Chain A
């Protein structure tokens, strides 16, 4: 069943991505003031939203783990965090490339850039913390607590850094900006494609995690015998 889900969602994501790439590079014209480089926004913004969704999902699964003590939720947390971290990295890298072209600099300590980087550091810390703990239930428990702390910290970080001066453009899609309907459609479809991709990757990573756990338990059993 899950196998079919992975292939099915993967196929839909692939079709959507192909459609979006065609639209982004072949159909949509250059943007009036930025020219060619604005196209990066079709990946930059959806990647950020996907990463935020991943963070929200892992917070929920971490809380659920602490309530139910079912290790399945711990496996979901680690799978989704890894995928989310990859999307956040994609967001940071695409943003940096855009900044190099438009601002002339790779990086600036602007509010959004800084808060995205801090989020990245926090969730990378989560993965490192997991590696430092051997025993599965202790690892699940402690990393779930850390995940909750990280998720609570993220909005505070975002608020606090917002009061620092900001250089990042204001939101184009939702919140005051105006955008051509064709561009808007492509952006939304690409968001759907990236979210589907994140789900597929998480499911694959989840399967690895489950296999890993099964191997561990067989190994323990073999040692015991």
Chain B
């Protein structure tokens, strides 16, 4: 029970800090809209093409905007030695990781839920046909993104060129999760229900989430404390 309480304390702390400054979330929102606008200039797609590229487009936007939030997750604790305080606090590394991941998940999902309707409007796509399945895929894909982003934010917190290194390491690692999220999102926006041949992709996404969540929970303490 203690573990859950500690996790929620960390998550609440992070969310409160972010909502007071709104630094990362504003940047991520603005960035996602800018990419959506840029893509529409770059490709000028027809109706059928838009549906076909929707999965790829959306997840590139989510992954790029998401890393803006995720990269800062541990870096924001460095000024005023907050990171040392967090490490010294009587909570386990796993609770710290899970709390931060939960807060990041809420922030990234919020950015996505704003950019999804913007995408629908700008690209004139009816994306609500399979909305519940789409939300499920969104949640699973975002959790994978969040877990990898959060643990890598911890890995790179004290290194030179942090802003450059983190995305360089995160994106190749995310490829399986992004691929399945893109495929599923494309099919759902096209109006196909979940299931059939898409099921393997759903399973892959869940497996990715489970494996990397477990690995991160085990290894976070090693990363931060040594």
Contact = CB atoms under 8 A, between A and B. Distances in A.
Interface of B: 151, 155-156, 158-161, 165, 168-169, 172-173, 175-176, 179-180, 200-201, 204, 207-208, 211-212, 215, 219, 222-223, 226
Interface in A117-162: 118, 121-122, 125, 128-129, 132-134, 137-138, 141-142, 145-146, 148-150, 152-153, 156-157, 159-161
A152 B211 contact: yes
Interface of A: 66, 118, 121-122, 125, 128-129, 132-134, 137-138, 141-142, 145-146, 148-150, 152-153, 156-157, 159-161, 163-164
Contact of A142 (B161, B173, B176, B223): B223
Question: Which 3 pairs from chain A and chain B are nearest by CB?
Answer: A160-B176, A121-B172, A132-B159
A145 B207 contact: no
B169 A145 contact: no
A132 B164 CA distance: 10
Given A129-B165, A156-B204, A156-B207, A148 B175 contact: no
Contact of B226 (A137, A157, A163): A137
A153 B155 contact: no
B226 A128 contact: no
A66 B222 contact: yes
A109 to B, nearest CB: 11
Most B-side CB within 10 Å, residue of A66, A129, A160, A161: A160
A118 B200 CA distance: 21
A128 B175 contact: no
